[in-house]
Structure 1
Amino acid sequence: MITKATIEDVSLLNTLINSAYRGESSKKGWTTEANILEGLRTTEKELIETIQNPKNTILKFTENDQIIGCVLLVEKEQQLYLGMLTVSPELQNSGVGKKLLQQAEIHASAMGLPKIVMTVIAVREELIAWYKRNGYVDTGAREPFPASDVHIPISEQPLEFIVLEKSIG
């Protein structure tokens, strides 16, 4: 079941997102960033601020009373920004991510937004290929990877984002 996340979900979302992107637990799944980044992917404070912003929606995928996936959707001008697509590492490749992507498209359509955009770290070739198989195209645009005390690069290669987009409808 996919529904809108609330403040009550923050602790569980924080645990899920960090387990899927960073540290040993994330290496069970194929979407890990543990080989290129350390530190946290997000914090409870950041998630609370995100949920409180009316332009943001976090959709959660719940099964047997467990949150097993989520995605952040941000209304930005004439497009929907998609970020932090997360599936529990043990459940990746089970269709949860694809269902969240489809729900994001329904959300964009309902808001009258003609396209979804996202940024993906350029070295994450498997993930980029997966998004392309799901209808996203490389716009050719690149954005610098932000240096912060949360996202700590440990990769030898410099990191940058590629911008992907998909037209809806």
Structure 2
Amino acid sequence: MAEFLLPTATEQDISALDHLVNSAYRGDSSRKGWTTEADLLDGIRTSEESLRTMIQNPNASILKYEEAGQLLGCVYLEMKGNDLYLGMLTVSPEAQAKGIGKQLLLAAEHIAQSRKCHAITMTVITVRHELIAWYERRGYKKTGKIEPFPNDPRFGIQKRLLEFMVLKKEII
């Protein structure tokens, strides 16, 4: 596999990450892209405090994708047993459909292989059919497992009852 190395975010990136993630998932700015959750959730997607916790987790990292010094994408990766959990895959609404999400996924898969992980797992809101299909085209499969969406305003305020579907890609 070719090298797909992306830099790891540090605490100096927290403010930019907070802006990127919230602008891509919530509010009117997110409607410019196809990954918006604005019709499903109110509130914020993340906070600087949550991002700091993620960055300080010794089993986790946030990879970032930048062009010309501008943060355009990120992905959260966390070792969970023999698997790599992938979350918060984010691309700026203005930069979507340019292959950045695919590059972030390839970087995650490279890391999973280098760490000899068995699989990459993730959770996706079950009603995000277009997003689930995007992951399926990249080799991720529905596991049949459904998890509740947290009833916690730190993750957003549900406009309707939501659940997560667990997707998984075996690493060879």
What TM-score range do you get, normalising by the shorter chain?
Answer: over 0.9
What is the CA–CA distance in structure 2 between the aligned matches of 1:22 and 1:96, rounded to whole Å?
19
What is the CA–CA distance in structure 2 between the aligned matches of 1:76 and 1:28, rounded to whole Å?
33
Q: Does 2:37 match 1:33? A: yes
**1:54 aligned residue:** 58
1:22: Cα distance to partner? Answer: 0.2
Mean Cα displacement is larger for which, 1-10 or 117-126?
Answer: 1-10
Q: How does 1:134-145 map to 2 (within 5 A)?
A: 134-145=138-149
Q: How does 1:54-93 map to 2 (within 5 A)?
A: 54-93=58-97
Identity score, percent = 54
**2:167 aligned residue:** 164
What is the CA–CA distance in structure 1 between the aligned matches of 2:132 and 2:95, rounded to whole Å?
19
Q: Does 2:15 match 1:14? A: no
What is the CA–CA distance in structure 2 between the aligned matches of 1:77 and 1:20, rounded to whole Å?
30
1:168: Cα distance to partner? Answer: 1.1
What is the CA–CA distance in structure 1 between the aligned matches of 2:54 and 2:122, rounded to whole Å?
17
1:2: Cα distance to partner? Answer: 2.1
CA RMSD of aligned residues (A): 0.9
What is the CA–CA distance in structure 2 between the aligned matches of 1:46 and 1:81, rounded to whole Å?
17
Q: How does 1:58-137 map to 2 (within 5 A)?
A: 58-137=62-141
Q: How does 1:141-152 map to 2 (within 5 A)?
A: 141-150=145-154, 151-152=156-157
Number of residues paired by the alignment?
Answer: 167
- SS of the equivalent of 1:143 reads strand
1:67: Cα distance to partner? Answer: 0.7
- SS of the equivalent of 2:153 reads coil
Structure 1 ranges of 4+ moved more than 6 A: none
TM-score using structure 1 length: 0.97
TM-score using structure 2 length: 0.95
Unmatched runs of 5 consecutive residues or more in structure 1: none
Equivalent residue letter for 1:153: Q
- SS of the equivalent of 1:24 reads helix
- SS of the equivalent of 2:98 reads coil
1:31: Cα distance to partner? Answer: 0.4
Match of 2:6 among 2, 6, 28: 2
1:122: Cα distance to partner? Answer: 0.2
Q: Deviations over 1:132-153 (max 9, x none)?
A: 0011000000001111123101
1:111: Cα distance to partner? Answer: 1.1
